[in-house]
Structure 1
């Protein structure tokens, strides 16, 4: 039996830097969001209010990310043999679900305003949206400096990036209302915001769902992995192959491998582990390696012990 380990997810200087970047972005967002809600009510703009709602999910996603980073850094102990690393995936899924709720609300409200357009203060919407673009650009830059290989951090980044696009749509709508007086442009911008939210929700829920349901990670197709192992000259069969992702950047594999009579089980295990690392990027590997039935395992005396660590 062999194991390979190569994970340090959620620990050390990188996690501390991520906390600083996320915390700074959170402070900026909350301040601007409060201002935008007030201006949105004064301007009677559903586009601005929907942008503020989007910013609320941005702030929530960052809070969830900060909590998840702290939980993921907890060491494995007791029944939690992988620690709390799945916390960041749950955080990403919650982010996606908040998008879904807001998509439903803002779509309903925008359609209502298309039918019965209210008076909208175009200049105020336009100026506020421009300020929102600047704020989101700064916050997006901050989070882009964090570790985006984490689905948790990537979820927060996608929230902010989509919000910046939403502010651009709102600024265009404000200019149209200001110049032409066509109030329905505000509702159209809100629908654009809802569409961007729906796209981000799908992406986050899809990726989080793959991990929560323990699908094989991208780049490690089980059929290809099995074929690569059986292509080894000493391997006769591969059974009980499982490939999954514990958390972002932490793929894992277990399998039962049988080798031809007289083959060196430990040598095969090391070579298969090296293959899985170099070709598929999998480091956390558990292999049960035996001879085909009716034969004992031959071990070359000059070989190293059965456990390897990356």
Structure 2
């Protein structure tokens, strides 16, 4: 069990933040000295990642707070807001990179390829370290998963910077630096949009992608004594834990409610539902309540 003092992933986020923040400063200064858009682009992405890691770290700590009378579900959804903020920031950075890259192509800028190669190599090593640290916890939090994906993109960005530097040193192709920055943007934007979409799905309380509500309904309807299932709702608070509510209709009052509840909860747990609220009602009760019909 993980203590509230140090929620899962906190140490990994702190290590990644230290590494990413340091490389941001190195790449920003080196990019300015070398005149490399690819390095400055990667530095700006490092800055967005550092900001995202700070937000993720704060959100992780806040999400570990226990539920109370005013927040009966706790604060886990803060992590989703943090992931969405991170995605929007990274998407904005990628658009800036594209605009700046086309300006560079038209101006024919020249840079110091040796400095670019050195700092790109340092960035690659740092990104490998961060990726390895975050990899172990990425399945347990949308925040950490987003941080891991962004570090992975940074890793490929560093590779693009190194390849561009080698081309500049070997053939004098200074446009390769600008093309590398466009490649970095192309790597960043899809990841950012995917994370943004996943966060929006959670905030909109849509059914998680790995859950089939038709299969859940069939499992519940196959239970002994159950004649129908309605008001089935499945959602997630944080993109990881799945919750569900439903009404089970029976022909006559069930005297062994606990047994039916146990079987129903077991069926839901089989489909990955970690927390459920189930209402048992007789067949005539539906006329006395508003039922949410699905299209």
Give the TM-score normalised by the residue count of structure 1.
0.87
Structure 2 counterpart of 1:90: 81
Q: Residues of 1 paired with 2:22 and 2:138: CA distance? A: 25
Structure 1 counterpart of 2:57: 66
Structure 1 counterpart of 2:146: 155
- 2:257 aligned with 1:268: no
Displacement, 1:210?
A: 1.2
Displacement, 1:252?
A: 0.5
Displacement, 1:77?
A: 1.3
Q: Residues of 2 paired with 1:148 and 1:285: CA distance? A: 22
Q: Is the 8 A contact 2:231 2:245 kept in 1?
A: yes
Pick from 217, 226, 238 the counterpart of residue 226 of structure 1.
217
Q: Is the 8 A contact 2:252 2:282 kept in 1?
A: yes
- 2:116 aligned with 1:125: yes
Aligned length: 284
Q: Residues of 1 paired with 2:46 and 2:283: CA distance? A: 60
Cα RMSD, aligned residues only: 1.8
Structure 2 counterpart of 1:36: 27
- The answer for unaligned runs of 5 or more in structure 1 is 1-7, 295-310
Q: Tell me the alpha carbon deviations over residues 27-58 of structure 1, each in whole angstroms, 9 at most, x when there is no partner.
A: 22212211211110111110000010111112
Displacement, 1:262?
A: 5.7
- 2:176 aligned with 1:176: no
- 2:269 aligned with 1:277: yes
Displacement, 1:145?
A: 3.1
Displacement, 1:15?
A: 4.3
Change (3 A) 1:31 1:283: closer
Structure 2 counterpart of 1:51: 42
- The answer for unaligned runs of 5 or more in structure 2 is 286-295
Matches within 5 A, 1:8-23: 12=3, 15-16=6-7, 18-23=9-14
Structure possessing the higher relative contact order (Cα contacts under 8 Å, 6 or more residues apart): 1
Query: Which portions of structure 1, spanning 4 or more consecutive aligned residues, are displaced by more than 4 angstroms?
Result: 13-17
Give the TM-score normalised by the residue count of structure 2.
0.91
Pick from 110, 124, 132 the counterpart of residue 141 of structure 1.
132
Q: Is the 8 A contact 1:14 1:147 kept in 2?
A: no
Q: Is the 8 A contact 1:121 1:178 kept in 2?
A: no
Q: Tell me the alpha carbon deviations over residues 243-284 of structure 1, each in whole angstroms, 9 at most, x when there is no partner.
A: 000113211000111112264443222111111112x01120
